[in-house]
A = this chain, B = another copy of it.
Amino acid sequence: MKRCIIFSASKIESYKKININICSGDYIICADGGYLHAKALGIKPHLLIGDFDSLAIAPDDDVKTEKYPAEKDDTDTMLAIKNGFKNGCDEFLIIGGLGGELHHILANIQSLKYALDRNAKAVLEDDKNTVEMINCGSRILNKSDGELVSLFAYSPKCEGLSIKGVKYPLERVVLDNAFPLGVSNKITDEFATVTVENGDLLIVVTK
C-alpha cells in the first residue's frame, strides 16, 4: 500500500493529539490552507494543491504547487485525493477537515466514501476525532486512541453489525441511517472490534 497524507485546511487546536508518523514512502499533499499545518509541523509536502482561497501566506519557493480556479467542481480535499490516486496511493490519511464549517465537514466525510468506492482506506483525523468509513470488514479500535466510539450507517442500511469490547456490545444487528443507535459507546477493553457484513459504516472515535 502506498499512503497519501493530506493536510486539510481547518482549525486544529492541538497537534499533540494527532498521531502523525510519516514514513519515507508517504506521498504528502497540502490542500490549500492545510499547508499551514504542515509548515507548523515542519513537514515539507510533495505538492500543494487548491484554489488558494484559504492560504494567507506565500508557499516556500521549493514547494511544488498546482493552482485551480475557485470555480471548480472539486473541493480542495477532493483535488488532493484525486491527485493521490493518480500517484498510485491506496491509503489516505487526511489530517484536519473536521474542525471547520459544517458543509466542509460533510463534504470531507463524503470524500471518505469516494476513496472507499475505489478500494482505498481513508481516515479523517484531527485533535478531536478520528473518522473512518468501512464496508464489509472489521476494524480494531485501540482504547488508547479514544474511548468513545459512535457508529453510523452511511448507506441506507448496515447489516451484520457487531461491536465487541465496549459497554454496549452489538451482535449482528441491522443499523439504518434513520436512527442513531450507535452513538457514544464506550471502549471498555484494551481494544474494540467493529465488524460490518454489508453496508457503508461510518466510525467516529472521539478522543
Contacts and interface: CB of A to CB of B under 8 A. Distances in A.
Number of identical protomers: 2
Contact of A178 (B113, B181, B202, B204): B113
Contact of A102 (B73, B131, B155, B178): B131
Interface string A175-187: 0011111011000
Interface stretch (A7-15, A24-32, A103-111): A103-111
16 contacts: A71-B168, A73-B181, A75-B180, A101-B128, A101-B129, A101-B206, A102-B128, A102-B204, A102-B206, A103-B204, A104-B183, A106-B202, A110-B178, A114-B178, A154-B177, A155-B156
Contacts of A179: 78, 110, 114
Interface residues of A, number: 39
